[in-house]
């Protein structure tokens, strides 16, 4: 519960300011997810991004996923 509490405000901020998180939110809105589900997904995404940065010791690259073609 404590981790969720700590990630709430950064997720809300990321939903307003971070293009990576905003694209996640737009995809979820199109599939009729509730607002809180979108916030929790943003929290999870931030956690995964932070883990990736810490594990690889490389700075965050918002264009990293663009190098992979996932059928689009």
Q: Is residue 70 part of a domain?
A: no
pLDDT of residue 70: 62
The structure's pTM equals 0.84
The answer on pLDDT for 6 being more than 90 is yes
Q: Is residue 42 part of a domain?
A: yes
Structural domain boundaries, residue 53: 2-60
Q: Is residue 66 part of a domain?
A: no
User: In terms of C-beta distances under 8 Å and separation of at least 24 residues, what long-range contacts does 3-9 make, across chains too?
Assistant: 3/47, 4/40, 4/43, 7/43, 7/46, 7/47, 8/39, 8/43
Q: Is residue 12 part of a domain?
A: yes
Number of domains composing the chain: 1
pLDDT in tens, 16-52: 999 999 999 999 999 999 999 999 999 999 999 999 9
Q: Is residue 72 part of a domain?
A: no
Q: Is residue 17 part of a domain?
A: yes
């Amino acid at each position: 519960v404590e981790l969720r509490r700590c990630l709430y405000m950064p997720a809300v901020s990321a939903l307003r300011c971070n293009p990576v998180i905003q694209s996640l939110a737009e995809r979820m809105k199109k599939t009729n997810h509730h607002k809180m589900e979108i916030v929790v997904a943003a929290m999870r995404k931030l956690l995964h991004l932070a883990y990736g940065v810490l594990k690889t010791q490389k700075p965050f690259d918002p264009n990293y996923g663009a190098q992979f073609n996932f059928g689009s």
